[in-house]
Amino acid sequence: MKELIRLTVVLGVICIVSAVALSQVYQATKEPIALAREAEAKDAAAQVLGPVMVEGAAMDKRAGEGPEGRDLFVASQGGQELGVAFTVVSSKGYSGDIVGMLGLDPAGNVLGYRVVMHAETPGLGANIASDEKWLHQLVFKGEERRNLTNTDWRVKKDGGEIDALTGATITPRAVAGSLQAGLEWHRDRAAASAPEAAPVEPVEPTPDPSVEEGGAVDEKLPAAEPLPEVKKTPVPITGKTLTE
């Protein structure tokens, strides 16, 4: 009995010490991990916004923008927005979440896409992060850039326009779905931030002096003809005597 109690106490002490140690490690690594992820996200945003990062353009982060309060990386020049980049996530990957960075111009055209984090199968689904040809077809439809209206964001196996990867369909399907969701979010953000149209005040018609009393007379109109005189004959009253 005493041996059992001793083992229980020892096990409890080990658990407490392990928990404290893990907590200390978490606290020590929490900030560096957050900084590393922030730097990785910023680098990915710079990549997908590359086409609009012209000379003199700057990129800054804006927190909590649009529906859902999503963080944005905004490329701008002289106060004019050139493009935005934000994180898109799909929970439908083969091995878990797929996190990507999507870049769009103000009209909603895709500027670029990069995978930030995934756990897909090496040599198969993992190629979403390295296959440049596959990534290129997410951005371009022929010579024009893809957007929400000119693309069916389903893989070809499902009747859409997006190519799958050799030996992998689930992963590309998840990525394509996350891009469509991101494009829809950007559309809703643009609609929510658009200024409301000012109410139109009714315009009073300007009186035409030619038809108002005392106005000018159109000489081209024919002269009005006088109405014929109407004479009325009183009806005789019979059978009654009229007295004052």
The dihedral of CA 82, 174, 69, 194: what is its sign?
Answer: positive
For residue 25, is it within any domain? yes
Domain count, the chain: 1
Q: What is the pLDDT of residue 63?
A: 82
Using CA atoms, how far apart are residues 183 and 203, in angstroms rounded to an integer?
A: 41
End-to-end CA distance of the chain: 142
pLDDT tens for each residue of 9-55: 777 778 787 777 776 665 666 566 666 667 888 899 999 999 999 88
For residue 114, is it within any domain? yes
For residue 168, is it within any domain? yes
The dihedral of CA 108, 109, 114, 115: what is its sign?
Answer: positive
For residue 203, is it within any domain? no
For residue 229, is it within any domain? no
pLDDT tens for each residue of 65-98: 666 668 899 999 988 999 999 999 999 999 999 9
For residue 220, is it within any domain? no
pTM reported for the whole predicted model:
0.68
For residue 211, is it within any domain? no
pLDDT tens for each residue of 134-182: 999 999 999 999 999 999 999 999 999 999 998 899 999 999 999 999 9
Using CA atoms, how far apart are residues 133 and 112, in angstroms rounded to an integer?
A: 13
